[in-house]
Amino acid sequence: MSEATSIKHQLAAASPNPLAERLKLTLNYDELSNCIRCGFCQPSCPTFKETGLEAASPRGRIALMKAVVDDLMVPDSSFQKQMDLCLGCRACEPVCPADVKYGQLLEQTRDAIEKHTDHRWWIKPIRNLAFQQLFPNQKRMRLLGSALRLFQRSGIQRLVRKSGMMNLFPETMSQMERILPEASSKGVIEQLGTYVPAAGNRKPIATVGMFRGCIMDVLFTETNMNTVKLLSEAGFDVIIPPTQNCCGALHAHSGELDQAKDLAKKNIDAFQASGVDYIISNAGGCGALLVEYGHLLHDDPEYADAALKFAGNVKDVSQMLMEKGSIPEFSIDKAAASHGQVSITYQDSCHLRNVMKAGNAPRDLMNRIEGAKLVELRGADRCCGSAGIYNLVQPEMSMDILDHKMEHVKETHAHYLLTSNPGCLLQMKLGIEREQMSGQMKAVHIVDFLYEHLANN
């Protein structure tokens, strides 16, 4: 009997580990076996780059998952640690010659872990509040926005900062508080309505449905409004279905797959009822889950076909403009340009690049801005360390990744750093703040920059 077989028999003889049993049921064994252990994914993995550890790499994590399913190890705390440390950036997927669907394996693993985790007493209510009560309920999100706005505008925020109270919180949280944008009490629908026709009374190229997001519509309402206006300028009729919901990405990435599926169904119903040709997202993180609704609901007899159709019609705003739009002219206004050429750089959203496969669409748009020079950011395709709530739950690794990212950002000497996802945008603002570069560089969502520089604006 080989050593591995002997270990397998000994472990199998011990009482079954509930998480291991769950992983055996949840993980797709064919997908695990597809990994040929070539290691081509290693150089693209940020956590492998930071630690140099095989276990913190895609190949290592897949090997750990397979070892559990093969009864060669029990999923202990170090197993869980490596799964938690993964950013879910999916940079390992496009470079994989065997087309291993790592993201799906990670989601399945996290879902199993979540079902077998005894959180500390105060974590569960917080998770319930956020995942069940808040994100899926736009009215409550609006209330949160109003409360946050009151905090920011009433002077309480200034007092809190002055009192040093924020020092009681972890450093990353207090830094985040400083760069948080002003919340809005009114979302995109309250401000623009549910329908905005193609500008200039034109025959529309297509009717698109705007996906407004949950946090996006509270903290980045202006970006949502600019997205609608930009699409209208590019010749699209825009509908914003009022019954749409949170995309479910934070749920899916945090091991709450059942809730993610419920939200997906609500969104499919909402956009189907609105009769749009395409569904447009302006946040890479949300868009990446929307394009994967087909996979998420593949075994749901009622929704599988509709989910596949929905997913096939999802596009990022940059893709939509480049592929189908009548692209308006963009230019830097003369006053700004008189101080010398305006240079811009771009940090990819991992999910837009690796999952939505937006390719060069954002850069192609940036190259069309008259008077702006696009400077390529070294390692722009590498995660910035934001990754949903990763910067809050894994602050150390997140800041290590951010600090390395900022070394490359500094080399660009750009005036503006553009991104296509709210999480990346906040992380880049944080990086600029940490490096005390606020006087030289500004982080902006690409949609806001384009809209601000519409030639006829």
Closest CB 374 distance from ligand SF4, rounded Å: 26
Instruction: Please state the φ and ψ torsions of residue 328, each to the nearest 5 degrees.
Output: -70, 170
How far is it, in rounded angstroms, from Cα 113 to Cα 273?
Answer: 36
Distance CA(364)–CA(358), nearest Å, equals 11
Say if residues 231 and 208 touch (Cβ distance below 8 Å). Answer: yes
Amino acid at 199: A
Q: 264 Cβ partners below 8 Å, 6+ apart?
A: 247, 248, 289, 293, 296, 297, 303, 307
Residue 348 CB, shortest distance to ligand SF4, in Å, is 13
Tokens at 453, concatenated? 């520089």
Kindly compute the dihedral angle of the four CA atoms of residues 307, 312, 40, 106, in this order, to the nearest 10 degrees. -20
User: CB 73 → ligand SF4: shortest distance, Å?
Assistant: 18
Choose between 46 and 284: whose C-beta lies nearer to ligand SF4: 46
For residues 329 and 372, the answer to whether their CB atoms sit within 8 Å is no
Residue 138 CB, shortest distance to ligand SF4, in Å, is 30
CB of 43 to ligand SF4, least distance (A): 10
339: its two tokens:
């101080």
Q: Which residues bind ligand SF4 (CB under 6 A)?
A: 35-41, 44-47, 58-59, 61-62, 86-92, 96, 98, 100, 102
- Closer to ligand SF4 by CB, 89 or 366: give it: 89
Q: How far apart are CA 366 and CA 360, in angstroms?
A: 10
Q: At a CB cut-off of 8 Å and minimum separation 6, what does 21 contact?
A: none
Contacts with 186 (C-beta within 8 Å, 6 or more apart), sequence order: 142, 221
Closest approach of Cβ 56 to ligand SF4, in Å? Answer: 8
Q: How far is the CB of 257 from ligand SF4 (least distance, A)?
A: 17
